[in-house]
Amino acid sequence: MSPAPIRAVAIGASAGAVQALQTILPALPADYRLPVLVVVHVPSDRDNQLAPLLRAQCAVPVREAVDKEPVAAGVIYFAPSDYHLLVETEETLALSADETVNYSRPSIDVLFESAADAYGDGLVGVILTGANHDGAAGLKAIADAGGQVIVEDPGGAYASAMPLAALAACPNATTMNLDAIASYLASLGAP
Amino acid sequence: MPDAIVDLEIQLLLEALFQRYHYDFRHYARASIKRRLVLARDQLGFGSISAMQEQVLHDPALLPRLLGYLTVQVSEMFRDPSYFRALREKVLPHLRTYPSLKVWIAGCSEGEELYSLAILFREEGLYERTLFYATDINPDALSAAEAGVYSLDRIRKFTENHQKSGGKSSLSDYYTADYGRAVFDKTLRERVVFSDHSLVTDAVFAEMHLISCRNVMIYFDRLLQDRAIGLFRDSLARKAFLGLGSKESLRFSTHAAAFSDFVPEEKIYQRREP
Ligand SMILES: C[S@@+](CC[C@H](N)C(=O)[O-])C[C@H]1O[C@@H](n2cnc3c(N)ncnc32)[C@H](O)[C@@H]1O
């Protein structure tokens, strides 16, 4: 049986996210064919500066997610600060002002669980550096739905708690360093 | 359990709630509803969403608890201070020209937004000529709004927001601290009508000069959003104002042409002349 075609990438990161994403996202080619959904924990009263910062460095367009917009291929979407980002089953984006999850809004679990529902085995979930446990349950939901799961190698991560929690929840996840994740994701969506 | 079955159970539960109790969540954004219903199932100890449906059909006592999951009571006083600053600096100068005013806080949750507006109007000398309508579909939230009591540990954030919004007084002028709670001054709700009103199933009830409806329509699908915006259009006096949440807009609405941008970065719109 050949693996299901991948239709979307979901990435979660916390402490150390800026550097990690600066390794991965600029490696994606301009004609990238997958949507990339990103949740990063940022202080709620600060505007998300990450999207503008990465926009300048990426070949793929970088946008802040807008409620009810259809998910477009070849776009990197960031969750706005203080809103959860979800994917509806008809593959549109949704924002919500629900309670924090794992003390976080946006929460990685919320994105991953909804994206697992929307994309099933057509999703790749990636957990990067971070100092908390958000994303572990979400990564497991992706694996349970048949999607691919990748965790940054905790040994090399800026903060290992989040990768370790993700591995505890998904022992069969593939661990890779940032450069390997970058080239793997780039190859997945190359035309 | 396969996800398709959970999705079907949710569909049936929402239909049951509508037919039995006339609460209509059928066109709410589904991913968030699903998350919260799965949470309800697990936290209330049901084996399945169907089991929850059976019980709520026969036992109305479960309804308020389910409503607590289906509606989201996340709010803050002066949430997004720049919105309240824009009201103060740009909208209130227009409202000042009217001898009497009506303001509708649609989806008022536990009253945080209502008290913010009441304080703003008092600071600007408009409170006495204004009638406020605070509406929501969650009866527990409405009672909390009427009580105006918040845990003291939230006050620091409220105070900071109030200052950032250009507050001209001290927030502590409006509440008394009592056993870990802040009890807001009852004169702030002398001119407030609290009422159960749904943007999904209810109609226009008065002509407004300002409607503030923040982080409510974000939970609706496009169809419901359009219904609510039509209701706002029909409720607003000419040249009156509509304020939405920071991630909401009229961009996709069929009623967009009835409004013009007033403070676009704060999602404040003005009703055009009909
Ligand atoms: C996230 S809170 C927003 C509170 C406040 N407006 C703010 O922005 O801080 C959403 C509120 O909308 C209410 N709500 C949900 N559906 C509604 C409907 N159909 N009509 C009126 N209110 C509704 C909920 O009960 C809840 O109190």
- In the beta sheet, which residues pair with residue B242? B211, B269
C-alpha A54/C-alpha A76 separation (Å) is 10
pLDDT digits (tens, 9 = 90+) for B229-247: 999 999 999 999 999 999 9
> Tell me, what DSSP letter sits at residue A149?
E
Scanning A1-107, the segments in alpha helix (DSSP H) are 17-24, 50-55
Residue B218: which of A89, A96, A118 has the nearest Cβ?
Answer: A96
Say if CB B242 and CB B232 are below 8 A apart: yes
Distance, in Å, from the CA atom of B128 to the CA atom of B118, rounded to the nearest integer, reads 10
Q: What is the pLDDT of residue B252?
A: 83
Query: What local confidence, expressed as pLDDT, does residue A189 receive?
Result: 87
Judging by DSSP bridges, how do beta strands B208-213 and B236-244 pair with one another? parallel
CA-based torsion, A92, B34, A150, A177: positive or negative: positive
CB B142 within 8 A of CB B170: no
Ligand 1 atom index nearest CA of A98: 1
What ipTM goes with this model? 0.93
Model confidence band, residue B1 (pLDDT cutoffs 50, 70, 90): low
Identify the H or E element spanning B141.
helix B139-147
Residue whose C-alpha is closest to residue A12's, from A144, A121, A159:
A159
A101 DSSP assignment:
B
From first to last of its 191 residues, chain A has per-residue pLDDT tens of 467 899 999 999 999 999 999 999 999 999 999 999 999 997 655 566 888 899 999 999 999 999 999 999 999 999 999 999 999 999 999 999 999 999 999 999 999 999 999 999 999 999 999 999 999 999 999 999 999 999 999 999 999 999 999 999 999 999 999 999 999 999 998 87
Find residue B39's DSSP bridge partners: none
Q: Is the peptide bond before A35 cis (omega within 30 degrees of 0)?
A: no
CA proximity to B143, closest of B68, B214, B203: B68
Q: Which residue has the tokens 């500066």?
A: A49
Task: Compute the distance between CA of residue A125 and CA of residue A8 in angstroms, rounded to an integer.
Answer: 9
Q: How far lies A176's CA from each of A125, A126, A137, in Å?
A: 13, 10, 20
Q: Which residues of B touch A142 (CB under 8 A)?
A: none
Average pLDDT over residues B128-157: 98
On whether the CB atoms of residues B50 and B9 are closer than 8 A, the answer is yes
Residues of B in contact with A88 (CB under 8 A): 29-31
Protein residue closest via CA to atom 13 of ligand 1: B107
Smallest CA-to-CA distance from B121 within B70, B204, B187 is with B187
DSSP H or E stretch at residue A102: none
Judged by DSSP in three states, A136 sits in helix
Query: Residue B235 is encoded by which pair of tokens?
Result: 């409720």
- Kindly report the number of other CB atoms within 10 A of residue A183's CB atom: 13
Neighbours of A6 (CB within 10 A): 18
Partner residues linked to A36 by β-bridges = A9, A76
Return the amino acid letter for B148: G
Nearest Cα to B40, choosing from B24, B28, B26, B56?
Answer: B56
CB of B212 closer than 6 A to ligand 1? Answer: no
Write down all domains in chain B, each with its CATH number in brackets.
Answer: 3-71 (no CATH), 81-271 (3.40.50.150)
What per-residue confidence (pLDDT) applies to A47?
Answer: 60
The reported pLDDT for the residue numbered B199 is 98
pLDDT at position B22 over 90: yes
Amino acid found at B190: E
Radius of gyration, CA atoms only, chain B: 19
Task: Domains for chain A: give ranges and CATH numbers.
Answer: 8-188 (3.40.50.180)
**What distance in Å separates the CA atoms of residue A167 and residue A154, rounded to the nearest whole number?**
9
- Whether B1 is in the pocket of ligand 1, judged by its Cβ within 6 Å, is no
Measured in whole angstroms, how far is the alpha carbon of residue A59 from the centre of its chain? 18
- For the sheet with B259-263, list strands across it: B192-196, B130-136, B101-106, B208-213, B236-244, B268-271, B259-263
Give the Cα separation of B152 and A175 in Å (integer): 45
Give phi and psi for A159, each to the nearest 5.
Answer: -130, 125
Tokens at A80, concatenated = 């706005």
Residues of A with active-site annotation: 14, 41, 134
Give me A68's structure tokens.
């009810």
DSSP A70: B
Q: What is the pLDDT of residue B128?
A: 97
Report the residue among B84, B104, B110, B137 best suited for mutation to probe ligand 1: largest number of ligand atoms under 8 A from its CB.
B137
* Residue pLDDT, tens place only, B252-273: 899 999 999 999 999 999 999 8
Rounded mean pLDDT, B37-62: 97
Residue with tokens 């009638």: B131
Q: Please, which pLDDT band fits residue B72 given cuts at 50, 70 and 90?
A: very high
Q: Which atom of ligand 1 is nearest to the CA of B200?
A: 19
Contact between chains at A86 and B222 (C-beta distance less than 8 A) = no
